[in-house]
Chain A
């Protein structure tokens, strides 16, 4: 029998590669601007579209879905074709996938600075874009499985198991976390509320890390590392064990993001227990990678690509050990909400995702252009400045997080907080924030140098758009002997493998999510908690638009230091009308769950206009545009109706009188401000924001009536 001749599609790989570099530079630049704003708030250039609350989601989306996302597709499209000995199923689908994905990113770049956001972390994009993501993801899946079906290799290699698990799990995560009720073309409310919404979000958020930042990269590591080092994979058995253990256990660990919140205790404990069990399966990938380099360590000394791989794998090992440690309650109580977490994710993102991406780019591009890398020296420079950048980034942030976490918990012997003013702790860690942005800038410089180096490489070579290859066609299935090892049999059946992966990830999902989502007794209601007034609801939507929850949490944990600082700890019943929940994940500023009625309206007005007037040294940006912009009340009836659909008990027909109520409450606030010589029209956005802030947490303060 003659071997069949065919061509690998290199052009699509190259396109994804270039997109990776371009979006990488953009995403990291946005990150740097955001980092600078944390010690120099004026770096927002006095502009609402470039203010921290709006560009922080842009940074995370750009680096996760644009930089890492394109890198995944680059790695998958390159390795999949070669591991299956087949060209991609459809060049047209590849094109649709590529341009569709870039379009989604462009729409994110436009909508996020405009403040169009669902506020769900790493899923901020509004519902029309969510639908587009789903469609493009399906295109990717069809293209991948189409290629798998026409393969010339009987068994699927471990890299492809990881790709398949990535595909199905991301599909499940994205769909469940995007259950939104549209209000208008660019506004929607989450279907779940409060603690349920939080559980869904962090089940998603945690597993986005698992199945977008980890499993596809492990798959790529399994292809590219042995190719780069020219060494066999250390242990096939370890691959099987750690693959299945990893995807089974990972899905359970989400609740460790919600320790000490109102999430039921059993769900929290499951999150902790499974996080601890995750150490070994995560390390399985690192061990298999590092031991694959056995006998090739002399190459690591010379080859910059392997250096990137080794540091990347080590960073992965550190981050996946640290993660389980952070999920222990005792550690979590200090680290959560602090810069420690920021350091932790950046060790993973800069070290593992970044360095693996760079290694693959440096290895791939010269190969596809049939040339040598333009400059090994520049690549080496990139490696060292990148490594130093990670250290300069991570160490100050660990320091800052640890310091602030402990300071916020410290009491004097008299029994009052040693640092009762949150700002005191913020001011102390500002030098660390300056250092971290230096680290980030170094890392970014490395990426720019890489872009130049690869650009020169491309210029000196010529792209082999269609790379010729040949392989024998597969003989019919019935001619093959039944294999003894069950896993070898499974490796021949892509659909069964996908279904098995799906079942494995659904077990943890169902056990953890279902009871909290379906059994109402899990969320005890509180009679005094009432729905938001129309004005407060509008104010809440502005709070979401401005991304306030990026810096301010809204959940008081049951610690003495927090109940003394903020007030009574949060109860699940307080959040039943919160579509979406706004607990946040980071306290750059203080918690706001009990902010209502703590200060006067005038205080809030002055504070929003220029926070430094009321709190000297504050790093919060000015929100002066809230004072000039008019509140859009045309949307009120639709919003009320949407909330009614979601089960918020507004009386029937309330949507018709909602704006009348809104005007009345707004006028009261404006009058109250006028008493303090603050002249502001009652139809400005600031009034709605003040109304919302003054409502926070007042419902359960028995001694007070609701804000009217």
Chain B
């Protein structure tokens, strides 16, 4: 008993720890629920234990009383036994559950017809099979009622609305806490090697197919010269990557790259300037002055 309580207490403490770490209030409503569930389970276990104790007490009492009436030990044992002997052998229980009759009775169940030597038995459909069948029918009826008569559960388009609303809310909460949130107006030009390296990784995976391994330009324009189609400032590049230029075949990356990744890759692109890679594509767009980048 003592051990059980200790274990339960330990479980509670384990549940509580992360909760108190996350929340300001010591016990969150969820935790209170858990404690409630725990308490209920504990009470039920206690109840069960009590029942077992009482049973045991009765047995001991029986022995004491019988002994006082002059029964021998063997007689007492015999007196306590019959309750156990009544239990049926396991196979029979199993057979009953499957509605199986013993094989010896089979000859009484063979039906009079036969086809090419194939006989059939007049066995009933197994009880558990019928239970399964009826319960699936009940499930199906409830399913249709829940979705289409009582409208208790959302159909796909409402489900979608809920999903998006929940995600939007969660995203807002997350972003309000996130420190390194950037967009095209707040993005900064940096030459931190760590940022450049991270930008290079993004570039290799997503941009190199069209702009070339070294930004020399393939289908997409050369990114290493001083000619630019959609602006050369860090904010412009961020914007081009984020929203794309669909009319010219530049896809939107907003849904695929995080703002940090876009900012990194934009900085990496600026770092490519004047690297003069081999097989560079001819210039496109307008020529921009060097110093403007840094001045951004």
Contacts and interface: CB of A to CB of B under 8 A. Distances in A.
B171 interface: yes
A325 to B, nearest CB: 12
Given A232-B120, A273-B143, A602 B255 contact: no
Given A269-B143, A284-B129, A421-B256, A155 B113 contact: yes
Nearest to A558: B160
Contacts of A277: 133, 136-137, 139-140
Interface stretch (B49-57, B85-93, B189-197, B244-252): B244-252
A490 interface: no
Contact of B167 (A223, A324, A415): A415
Nearest to B158: A558
B167 A603 contact: no
A560 B157 CA distance: 11
Given A265-B155, A277-B136, A416-B257, A606 B219 contact: yes
Given A83-B115, A284-B129, A559-B160, A414 B136 contact: no
B219 A603 contact: yes
B59 to A, nearest CB: 42
A260 B156 CA distance: 6
A520 interface: no
A509 to B, nearest CB: 18
Interface in B233-252: 246, 248-252
A423 B156 CA distance: 27
A375 interface: no
Interface string A405-426: 0000001111111001100000
Given A269-B144, A277-B136, A615-B209, A283 B118 contact: no
B110 interface: yes
Nearest to B115: A157
A367 interface: no
Interface stretch (A48-56, A386-394, A593-601, A656-664): A593-601
Interface in A589-640: 597-603, 606, 613-616
B35 interface: no
B249 A234 contact: no
Given A269-B148, A280-B132, A597 B246 contact: yes
A273 B115 contact: no
A318 B259 CA distance: 47
A558 B50 CA distance: 54
Contact of B136 (A82, A279, A294): A279
Contacts of A226: 118-119
Given A265-B147, A420-B255, A559-B163, A616 B209 contact: yes
A236 B111 contact: yes
Given A269-B144, A283-B129, A414-B175, A560 B160 contact: yes
A236 B137 contact: no
B223 to A, nearest CB: 16
Contacts of A281: 133
A309 to B, nearest CB: 15
Interface stretch (A90-98, A202-210, A237-245, A498-506): A237-245
B164 interface: yes
A390 B160 CA distance: 37
B178 interface: yes
A559 B159 CA distance: 8
B288 interface: no
A181 interface: no
Given A235-B123, A560-B164, A602-B249, A413 B118 contact: no
Interface string B124-152: 11100100110011011101100110000
A476 interface: no
Interface residues of B, number: 60
A602 B219 contact: yes
Nearest to B131: A280
Contacts of A564: 255
A587 interface: no
A272 interface: yes
Contacts of B136: 276-280, 324
B23 to A, nearest CB: 18
B167 A276 contact: no
B183 interface: no
B156 A270 contact: no
Contacts of A266: 148
Interface in B206-234: 206, 209-210, 219
Main secondary structure of the interface of A (DSSP, over half): helix
Nearest to B178: A414
A3 interface: no
B289 interface: no
Given A260-B156, A416-B257, A417-B256, A600 B118 contact: no
A481 interface: no
A233 B121 contact: yes
B140 A273 contact: yes
A239 B129 CA distance: 13
Contacts of B219: 600, 602-603, 606, 676
Contacts of B124: 235, 237
A467 to B, nearest CB: 12
Given A235-B124, A287-B129, A614 B210 contact: yes
B8 interface: no
B118 A238 contact: no
A417 B167 CA distance: 12
B256 A414 contact: no
Given A414-B178, A416-B257, A597-B246, A569 B160 contact: yes
B174 interface: yes
Contacts of A557: 156
B110 A232 contact: yes
Given A265-B156, A560-B164, A279 B249 contact: no
Contacts of A676: 219
Given A238-B129, A616-B209, A676-B219, A417 B120 contact: no
B30 interface: no
B79 interface: no
Contacts of A704: 246
B133 to A, nearest CB: 4
B125 A241 contact: yes
A303 interface: no
A569 B160 CA distance: 10
A553 to B, nearest CB: 16
Given A227-B118, A238-B129, A272-B143, A600 B170 contact: no
B140 to A, nearest CB: 4
Interface in B164-185: 164, 167-168, 170-171, 174-175, 178
Nearest to A233: B120
Contacts of B148: 265-266, 269
B167 A560 contact: yes
A274 interface: yes
Nearest to B141: A273
Contacts of A599: 249, 251
Contact of A565 (B117, B121, B255): B255
B103 interface: yes
Given A273-B139, A283-B132, A284-B125, 14 more contacts: A83-B115, A233-B119, A235-B121, A265-B148, A270-B144, A277-B140, A281-B133, A411-B167, A415-B171, A416-B255, A417-B255, A417-B256, A599-B249, A603-B219
9 contacts: A226-B118, A235-B123, A277-B139, A278-B136, A284-B125, A294-B100, A329-B156, A416-B256, A564-B255
Interface of B: 100, 103, 106, 110-111, 113, 115-126, 129, 132-133, 136-137, 139-141, 143-144, 147-148, 155-157, 159-160, 163-164, 167-168, 170-171, 174-175, 178, 205-206, 209-210, 219, 246, 248-252, 255-259
3 tightest Cβ-Cβ pairs between the two chains A and B: A600-B249, A415-B171, A420-B256
Interface of A: 79, 82-83, 85, 153, 155, 157, 223, 226-227, 232-239, 241, 245, 260, 265-266, 268-270, 272-274, 276-281, 283-284, 287, 291, 294-295, 324, 329, 411-417, 420-421, 557-560, 563-565, 569, 597-603, 606, 613-616, 676, 704
